[in-house]
Chains A and B, each alone.
Chain A
Amino acid sequence: MSTSSLFLDFRKRNTHLISSPLMTPSTDLTAGIDSPLSQSNGFLKIRDLTKTYKGDVKALDGINLDVEKGEVVGLIGPNGAGKTTLIGCILGLLRPDSGSVLIDGKSPNSLSIKAMTGYVPERPEFEYWMNGRQFLIYHHGLSNRDPRRVQADVDEALELVELQQSSWHRRLKTYSRGMLQRLNLAQLVLGKPQLMLLDEPTLGLDPTGLHVVRKLVDSARAAGATVIINSHQLDEVERLCDRVAFMKKGRIGALETIKVSDGCDYILEIKWASGNSPEEIEASVTQACQTTGARVADLEERGARFVVRNKRAAADLLKELIIAGLSIDEAIPERTRLEHYFVSDESTDSGKS
């Protein structure tokens, strides 16, 4: 039996271990391009929103979106797709040409809505004469929170973002980019917002900072807050969000529901050195998949592509393959499932050109 026929045979015999990389069971496309939206009583309702900048640059072109209370929604899309403009309209910082934004049935410019809204800007500007605590006390005051709670609220926010206590009283001009971003996140939670808008919240953060963003979003979700995240970190968006809206040229191209219970499947390409017979490889792969719950997307003589649930499962898979006797050369995580929007978008564009 030839090598290729042996691997074909493997696919036939191990159908339970095989899956298509982009047809993961956790993906549920609820809306395609220009498809109608679900008729829900959304906490945030956006209807036919358009916004044009000087020079006839159409930033938003008929956006419709409903977001439920307690939902975490991601905004993804290429640069210039209109994500930040959409957030600006939701915050009332930008005036749309037409259409409407209603938060809990009210205009975003209503002070009662602003009192329940929190925002993490992508590129905040700080007053560098302040120290970390002063900055948060300032925003506590601006949030109209109870002044008697200021110390407790500020300490709680600083601890939540895990900013080192030694830096709390340091001038902001001595802060690193990551520390400023943590402070940026801390000001978000001061007002105990019911609607959080996070524009590139992971920008400049180290891995522990990423953990802080996750913790923050999780606690917001637990508190029933609605969260909208604009980020290019697709794996984070996938991990954190209930739904993801893909934006392109001012429109929502697709709206995808991500089932949290399904985890975040992604593809891991593993290559191994020659030296093992096809039968040995097959046996090793089968055993490793059964042990770790991974699925095989493609199997070749010198490597395979596996669908794994998460990074822990990926590490377990590698360990099992090594124990099974495969000499691993490299393991490369492939694109997340959200990345295919960008890839198909690029191919569409290049096809047009």
Chain B
Amino acid sequence: MNKTIFKYTIMSACLDPMKLLYVALLGFVVPIGMKVASLIHGAADSQTFEMLTGKVGVAFILMVLCLGLAGNTATQGGRGGEYLPLIFTRPIARWQYVMSKWLAITAIGGALVAVQNLLIAGIGAFYGEVTTPSALLCTVAERFLDAAIIGAAMLLTMLNKQPYFQIVAIVSFYVWMTGQTIPPVSIAGASGTNELSLMATKTLLGCSQFVSELILPTVNVYDLVNAHNINALPILAYLSTLAIYIVLSIVVINRREFFYGTN
């Protein structure tokens, strides 16, 4: 890893006041407000809350803070992408660049959502909610794992400038989001003559979640730690997908040419 790239990537992500305002609102003010409201009224946490404090929350924060941090300039100079060639004239291997960026993005996303989760746990504890330290640690670890795989996918999207790939990446993101957000009631409760059966609903949900897991697999750390028999499949799925994204990022950046002149 290149320490300079790691450090400056974090600085670049965290020194934009507008981005920080967005992250403060979406990552902290809104979920903390929702948690406090549900605690005061004795209501269960909403699905939106679960999303904002889980993997989707990591994705939202990384999309704002880190999109454009690799392969592009951090700010809009009108000719994005021209900063990278100057870096590659320096004595840095391209794989080093990819790994440094990935680690920085993972650190940013993981740390912010971990802090968010810890704050919410603290507020819950204040209102009498019981969370064990091991559960808390597992949640924090899971957020870092989420950030690692989302960061790797984002990195590949940022470095591969091919238009067709960008389209695939955007579609994949929406497919993944669908798998994260479809509430059973929205399908089972649909009105009209073609109301879905419970079996059809389950199949649809299963399909969307399966595809979603293929795109960005999840490792449930708490279940993994507390299971009597370790199920290696989620870990293998996670690690292999992560490896694919990182290796593809390195391949893409190694294959790319950089031209500084006019077209």
Contacts and interface: CB of A to CB of B under 8 A. Distances in A.
Interface of A: 79-80, 83-85, 87-88, 91-95, 111-112, 114-115, 117-119, 121-129, 138-139, 141-144, 173, 187, 191, 199
B257 interface: yes
Interface in B59-83: 73-75, 77, 79-83
A330 to B, nearest CB: 36
Nearest to B5: A142
Contacts of A199: 260-261
A141 B3 CA distance: 8
B86 A124 contact: yes
B21 to A, nearest CB: 15
Interface of B: 2-5, 7-8, 11-12, 15-16, 73-75, 77, 79-83, 85-93, 257-262
Contacts of B79: 123, 125
Contacts of A117: 89
Contact of A127 (B3, B83, B92): B83
Given A139-B90, A143-B90, A121 B85 contact: yes
A152 B93 CA distance: 26
B168 to A, nearest CB: 21
Given A123-B82, A142-B87, A128 B93 contact: no
Given A127-B75, A141-B4, A142-B4, A122 B261 contact: yes
Nearest to A197: B89
A336 B122 CA distance: 76
Contacts of B3: 141
Contact of B86 (A111, A112, A115, A119): A119
A94 B258 contact: yes
B257 A95 contact: yes
Nearest to B83: A125
A66 to B, nearest CB: 22
B123 to A, nearest CB: 33
Nearest to B72: A125
17 contacts: A84-B260, A85-B259, A85-B261, A112-B91, A114-B89, A121-B86, A124-B83, A125-B86, A127-B8, A127-B12, A127-B83, A128-B75, A129-B12, A129-B74, A141-B2, A142-B4, A144-B91
Most B-side CB within 10 Å, residue of A87, A91, A118: A91
A121 B86 CA distance: 7
Given A84-B262, A173-B75, 17 more contacts: A80-B262, A87-B260, A88-B258, A93-B85, A94-B258, A111-B93, A118-B89, A123-B260, A125-B79, A126-B73, A126-B77, A129-B15, A141-B7, A142-B92, A144-B90, A191-B90, A199-B261
Contacts of B82: 121, 123-125
Contacts of B85: 91, 93, 121
Contacts of B260: 84, 87-88, 93, 121-123, 199
B118 to A, nearest CB: 28
A173 B77 CA distance: 10
Contacts of B90: 114, 139, 142-144, 191
A32 B154 CA distance: 52
Contacts of B87: 142
Most A-side CB within 10 Å, residue of B15, B77, B79, B81: B77
Contacts of A142: 2, 4-5, 87, 90-92
